[in-house]
Structure 1
Amino acid sequence: MRNGFLRAAAAITAAALIALQPAAAQSILRDAETEALLDEMAAPLAKAAGLAPGNLDVVLINDPSINAFVVGGQTVYIHSGLIQAADDAGEVQGVIAHEIGHIEGGHVIRFSEGMATATGITLVSLLLGVAAIAAGAGDAGAGILAAGQQAAMGKFLAFNRAQENSADAAGARYMNAAGISGRGSIDFFKKLQNQEFRLAIPQEDSYARTHPLSGERIAALEGNFRNQPAWDKPTDPKLQARFLRVKAKLEGFIQEPPQTMRDFPASNTSVPAHYARAYAWHRGAYPDKAVEEVNALIAADPHDPYFLELKGQVLLESGKPEEALAPLREAVERSGGSPLIATTFGHALLATESPANLDEAERVLRRAVARDRENPFAWYSLGVAYARKGDTARAALATAERHSLQGQHRLALISAEQAMGQINSSSPDWLRAQDIAMASRAELENERGNRRR
């Protein structure tokens, strides 16, 4: 699916603080409505933390586990499983607030401090253990080594639990300052606690854990939330309605269609149910049924940009690009020029294979990449538009941009050099091609150096 939810590969290599383990290469889900909602939910929390809301990104990852983490910079990663587990927008805001606490506290940067302390203990125990073994006390030496490892792990886990407690307290401050009830945070931790009960995780001692026990966190957070003016403040009904929409369309996209149909039977005529079934029918290759569900949504709100986007997407991907143009064009206009929706619209213009649509496709796609340079499919589509118009130089540049984003540095270098050979050296496009070429060469040198080690 090109838009609605758009999959993009993203290699995430730093340690995920919430899980204390490296995150594997995972699939990022991109959707205009979801990103707009998450940005809106995070904005007051970022402001309360002293961050510029426009500089904080909330990224959705296709992963069924209930998890969220930061890996540096000002980006919060949320697993799709967390959205599915939440019943209220306030629960997700509580998680975002906690992760912003990690960002403000510089916990990713300070991660090495905990590692250094643990490593120091391990080295000391190693030296003492080896000395004991060399002196003939083999059992004593082995005991020293084992005790040193245990002490090092205890120090490291204690360091990480302290960071989690710090992020909890900071998140509570942000929620209170933003006037958002902490009930959502408490409710979410109770869900985690129920999971711990089901998994028979001991609740008496958190010594051997990366995180404090959920019961401990609930007790601490209730003390921070209960006496605040926002405690009894309900979630904004409009925000909650949008959250339920996004949650339903997410299920329709990631779950197998039969499961979605069980969760949202035809007797359910709510907006979220129509949304979920539309995605499920589309995934199941029943475009006519998907359009029926979307038409029910549009009948209730004829100018909702995301309903129009979905109708255009279904029509486009079922081989009807001409019919997709009108809803997608209006969706772009009514979404304020959303670059994700614009990319789908540009692709639809190209899919008509009409030369009369090439100029508009180029304009639409150029605006899309100007506002969102991190979308490889937008660059691919723009490259197609340039190639069909005979502008091979800028087609090569767009291709270089795409390969660079995808980490294909050799292909990016080839395309960038091709563009430089055809573009005037005084133009901004030539300078951009040069930047890509230089960055790609550097990456290739690094790869060669790593292979030699």
Structure 2
Amino acid sequence: MRLLTHLLALLALSLFAAQPAAAQSILRDAETEAFLRDISAPLVEAAGLEPENVDVVLVNDPSINAFVAGGQVVYIHSGLIDAADTANEVQGVIAHELGHVTGGHVIRIGEGYQAASRISILSMLAGIGAALAGGGEAAMGIMAAGQQAAMNKFLSFSRTQEASADAAGAQYLSDAGITGKGSLAFFGKLLGEEFRRGIRQDDEAGFYRTHPLSGDRIAKLRETYVVDPAWDTPLNEDWEARFARVKAKLQGYTAKPEATFRDYPESDTSTPALLARAYAYHKEARIERALDAADTLIARSPTDPYFLELKGQVLLESGRADEAIVPLRQASDLTLSEPLIASMLGHALIATEDETHYEEAEQVLRAAVGRDRYNPFAWYQLGVVYAARGDMARARLASAEQQVMSRQYPLALRSAQAAEAQLPYGSPDWLRAQDIAMEARALMEQLCDMKRARCDGRRR
């Protein structure tokens, strides 16, 4: 039974990963999302998928990792961006994860679990038979061997999936005309990390791993990449410049300010350094220094929407909503109402507490959720402006949208029911309120089932 417990734990981990937002925060930034979308698009097309149907999501986690968890979504940890030196390295990771998507590996994990379970059950039956025949020690040996065989079966299945994703990722890079040098470089980083952590690289250690040995993966992929026509393709200069900005912003936002000032000292006047320091200054409430950095960036490129967004964000979060409106409105116009920027503009308009801004705020926020329904912040702000304008039915509906995405299912159910009772019968908003109520009920029942299963597992 100990083996079954281990296997169930592995399966539980895979199911937990399928709901990453439940335990880990998602980092959303307009510039970063546009960058990840652009560098992944040629790989997505090479994989035979539609770029508009595939999302690359950034998870706030310092570990060097990426994963898929069902559907066409690739999750990348912030620690991976921090560890990478080039956009090409990140593309190598995305290509590998797309190999998992096209291979249906998350769905097929159940096959590996079932095969391992069959071995374990058969060994238990054989052990019971030996025990009944009077061979107690033999019975223990048979069951222990069966447990080990079952675990090895499951781990072998996982390693096969990883090798398959490696091969698929290499093919997607090749078909997209993108060099595999970044992929090899990143695997080299992983190998170095394993050495630092004292992880053995011999065959015996590899037998107990969910992934193939990093050294073996590098050797096999090198054979594939060096003969590929795309091997000597130069890096995309635009992508690399954008990566430097994204990486700097990420550090400025997530790292301690002293670490940011160490890596991006005052003597560094490059665009990435100014971005990183602006966020670090903002975190330390050194608002004028943050605004000076933003203004320097805007002077260099007056129509860069992300520089304008930065200035607007610093002003808004410093309690200067009136001043934030102009740069945020410019940024929204330049990006054709990019949802994240538009929702920040809507927030600024509401934060002025000037009723003359409410109509514009409603228009801006409705446009934002129209293009990005999975934006709980925008839904919350839209609920605020509806309530301020006296439209309580739609305020409750907007609250229900925000609450179901924030996993506040009982609140979402109550808000949706209250909205449904007030909205015109049969209207699109009335139907949406019904949908949210049904979704909230189903998710509440799902959570109850999971809790019951955990309790049953502990009792066993």
TM-score interval for Structure 1 and Structure 2 normalised by the shorter chain: over 0.9
- Provide the residue aligned with 2:346 in structure 1: 346
- Provide the residue aligned with 1:298 in structure 2: 298
Task: State how far apart, in whole Å, the 1-side matches of 2:14 and 2:423 are.
Answer: 43
Task: State how far apart, in whole Å, the 2-side matches of 1:90 and 1:383 are.
Answer: 41
1:390-448 CA-to-partner distances (Å, cap 9, x unmatched) read 11111111111111111222211211121122211131111111111222233344455
Of 143, 146, 153, 2:144 maps to 146
- Provide the residue aligned with 1:410 in structure 2: 410
Task: State how far apart, in whole Å, the 2-side matches of 1:393 and 1:249 are.
Answer: 39
Say if 1:69 and 1:99, in contact at 8 Å, map to a contact too.
yes
C-alpha RMSD of matched pairs (Å): 1.8
1:146–1:373 distance in 2 versus 1, CA, 3 Å: same
- Provide the residue aligned with 1:319 in structure 2: 319
Say if 1:349 and 1:358, in contact at 8 Å, map to a contact too.
yes
- With 184-193 and 196-205 compared, the bigger mean Cα shift is at 196-205
Say if 2:315 and 2:324, in contact at 8 Å, map to a contact too.
yes
Say if 1:28 and 1:60, in contact at 8 Å, map to a contact too.
yes
- Provide the residue aligned with 1:122 in structure 2: 120
Q: TM-score under structure 1 normalisation?
A: 0.94
Q: Give unpaired runs (5+ residues) of structure 2.
A: 1-10, 454-460
1:166-199 CA-to-partner distances (Å, cap 9, x unmatched) read 0000000000000000000000001111112222
1:291-338 CA-to-partner distances (Å, cap 9, x unmatched) read 111111111111100010010000000010011001000100111211
1:433–1:161 distance in 2 versus 1, CA, 3 Å: same
- Provide the residue aligned with 2:432 in structure 1: 432
1:160-175 paired onto structure 2 within 5 Å: 160-175=158-173
Of 13, 31, 34, 1:33 maps to 31
1:215 aligns with 2:215: yes
Task: State how far apart, in whole Å, the 2-side matches of 1:133 and 1:67 are.
Answer: 45
1:7-56 CA-to-partner distances (Å, cap 9, x unmatched) read xxxxxx97459x99996711110110000000111100010010001100
Instruction: State the AA in 1 paired with 2:435.
Output: D
Task: State how far apart, in whole Å, the 2-side matches of 1:333 and 1:140 are.
Answer: 76
- Provide the residue aligned with 1:390 in structure 2: 390
Structure 1 position 133, deviation (Å): 2.0
1:137-286 paired onto structure 2 within 5 Å: 137-205=135-203, 206-286=206-286
Say if 1:383 and 1:395, in contact at 8 Å, map to a contact too.
yes
1:443–1:392 distance in 2 versus 1, CA, 3 Å: same
Aligned residues between the structures: 440
1:449–1:34 distance in 2 versus 1, CA, 3 Å: closer
- With 43-52 and 21-30 compared, the bigger mean Cα shift is at 21-30
Q: Give unpaired runs (5+ residues) of structure 1.
A: 1-12
1:14-93 paired onto structure 2 within 5 Å: 15-16=13-14, 25-93=23-91
Counterpart secondary structure, 2:117: helix
1:451–1:62 distance in 2 versus 1, CA, 3 Å: closer
Q: TM-score under structure 2 normalisation?
A: 0.92
Say if 1:16 and 1:69, in contact at 8 Å, map to a contact too.
no
Q: Greater share of helix residues, 1 or 2?
A: 2
Task: State how far apart, in whole Å, the 2-side matches of 1:447 and 1:109 are.
Answer: 20
Task: State how far apart, in whole Å, the 1-side matches of 2:413 and 2:149 are.
Answer: 49
Task: State how far apart, in whole Å, the 2-side matches of 1:142 and 1:260 are.
Answer: 57
Instruction: State the AA in 1 paired with 2:87.
Output: A
Counterpart secondary structure, 2:26: strand
Report percent identity of matched pairs. Answer: 59
Say if 1:14 and 1:71, in contact at 8 Å, map to a contact too.
no
Task: State how far apart, in whole Å, the 1-side matches of 2:236 and 2:187 are.
Answer: 21
Say if 1:275 and 1:294, in contact at 8 Å, map to a contact too.
yes
Say if 1:362 and 1:385, in contact at 8 Å, map to a contact too.
yes
